[in-house]
Amino acid sequence: MSLRVVFMGTPDFAVPPLAEIVGQGHEVVAVYTQPPRPAGRGYELTKSPVHRQAEAFGLPVLTPTKLKTEEAADAFRAHEADVAVVVAYGLLLPKPILDAPREGCLNLHASLLPRWRGAAPIHRAIMSGDAETGVMVMRMEEGLDTGPVCMAERTAIAPDETTKELHDRLSRIGADLIGRALAALSRGSLGCRAQADEGVTYAKKIDKAEARIDWSKPAQAVHDQIRGLSPFPGAWCEMTIAGKTERVKILRSARAEGAGEPGLGEPGTVLDDRLAIACGTGAVRLVELQRAGAKPLDAETFLRGAGVGAGARLG
């Protein structure tokens, strides 16, 4: 049975779920997304990825700046939706909005709740060295990601997987999951269970101050920081290139087995001519780097232009 759906989402992560809902034949009566923001060198107003996709589908798009008004609630109720689907929308939903659809609001969240409630679950899972994550569909409540879980899909996190790579995988997995959840809802068979009280963690928004690499940490922690912040905001360090200190982003790394035994160098020391870097314990090998204003380069290409050799120190 086709459902009347209000879709609420903003970034790239939410585009495949929207496409899945449309593809299943549900009636998307409105798409809510964040307003156009200044972007690019010219700071031109740019529509969100969901906004652009919704327009391509010919769907009505709304971009309110707030929902906590009587007018916003009245407008939402006027859609007469069976259900609202929320995927990384960016605004908190007040109770009048949560209560408006006949079947309530379903949220697609990129973690294994109650672990990593909040804004940056993919980044935090990788930065913490989690071996597994997933996506979950939950019924929304007023609390932050506290609602009962209806469906879940788990997946392993590969040892060198970056946030971008995991983000894209979870988006595809999530699209399939929300499709199955709506199918179950239309049959009246979508059951949900309360989240566990144990194991609650919060995925706070990434602060750019977290991006500087601390080479005194163990190699695994440095590696997890680099891949967890790739590509945005990008973990970084300082290098001396042609006598000038530059900030360089590290977009990809690998564990440098056997390169960082005690005594081989202080943390931050380049150990060989292939960019193995000593850490507090062990070492990492830098695989992809980006100088300011330049495109990302593999380590071999980067070294041809930067000349950072064994014995150099990174800050």
Q: How far apart are CA 305 and CA 282, in angstroms?
A: 27
Q: Does the annotation place 262 within a ligand binding site? A: no
Pairing of strands 105-109, 132-139: antiparallel
The answer to whether 91 and 76 are in contact (CB under 8 A) is no
Kind plus residue range of the DSSP H or E element containing 160: none
Helix (H, G, I), strand (E, B) or coil at 73: helix
Pairing of strands 202-203, 83-87: unpaired
Q: Does the annotation place 2 within a ligand binding site? A: no
Q: Does the annotation place 60 within a ligand binding site? A: no
Q: Does the annotation place 275 within a ligand binding site? A: no
Using alpha carbons, list the distances in angstroms from residue 74 to 1, 4, 205, 285.
26, 17, 31, 56
End-to-end Cα distance, the chain: 59
Q: What are the structure tokens assigned to 297, written together?
A: 């380069």
Q: Binding site membership for (6S)-5,6,7,8-tetrahydrofolate: which residues?
A: 111-114
The binding site comprises 111-114
